[in-house]
Amino acid sequence: MPDQIHTEPDAAQAATAEHFYSGALGRIGGVMGVLAPLLVAAAWWKFGPRPAIGFAFGCAIAYLNFYWLKRVIAGFADRATGAATSQSGQGIVFRFLLRYVLMALGAYVIFTVSPASLNGLLAGLFLPVAAIGCEAVYELYAALARGV
């Protein structure tokens, strides 16, 4: 019988990978903070001030939405695991629903003030998608180049 190759990662390698991937949410938030001003400047240059301002508001709403969603998920996880410092269920649900109310309010204000800015606002809401794409490319690089 031929020798079998042991392909399972050892404990140290698994811990390194776990530490690397556990930082993804923090990296995504940081990438959003870097991408937003760059993309707002590009929108200002390409489309003018009104759509760029709408885009900036969309980016701000998207970042706030991402931050709150992260906190809501952490609150649900704390409640599910019975952590001693878990948040109240009503508070978690309130913040979850408040995210959508604020997005709708932002869209309404932008639409009434400047309908031309609405497209920029809607485009800005996709900021997390761009940041997640950057994170996916970085994780692919880390997996291929560094073996994480």
Cα–Cα distance list, 5 to 2, 9, 13, 17, 52 (Å): 9, 12, 17, 21, 56
Structure token digits, residue 121: 């606002």
- CB neighbours of 118 closer than 8 A, spacing ≥ 6? 54, 107, 110, 111
- Residue 90 falls inside a structural domain: yes
Q: Is the CB of residue 79 less than 8 Å from the CB of residue 92? A: yes
- Residue 35 falls inside a structural domain: no
- Residue 5 falls inside a structural domain: no
Q: Is the CB of residue 59 less than 8 Å from the CB of residue 124? A: yes
Q: Is the CB of residue 97 less than 8 Å from the CB of residue 108? A: no
Give the pLDDT mean for 30-39.
95
- Residue 72 falls inside a structural domain: yes
Residue 8: per-residue pLDDT: 57
Task: Flag whether the pTM goes above 0.95.
Answer: no
Question: How far apart (Å, rounded) are the C-alpha atoms in residues 74 and 12?
Answer: 27
Range of the domain at 80: 49-146
- Residue 123 falls inside a structural domain: yes
Is the pLDDT confidence value at 40 over 90? yes
Chain mean pLDDT for the chain: 82
Higher pLDDT, residue 116 or 24 = 24
Is the pLDDT confidence value at 17 over 80? no
Residue 77: per-residue pLDDT: 76
- Residue 24 falls inside a structural domain: no
- Residue 77 falls inside a structural domain: yes
How confident is the model over 56-94, as pLDDT tens digits?
988 998 998 888 888 878 777 777 777 656 566 677 778
Q: Count the domains in the chain.
A: 1
- Residue 131 falls inside a structural domain: yes
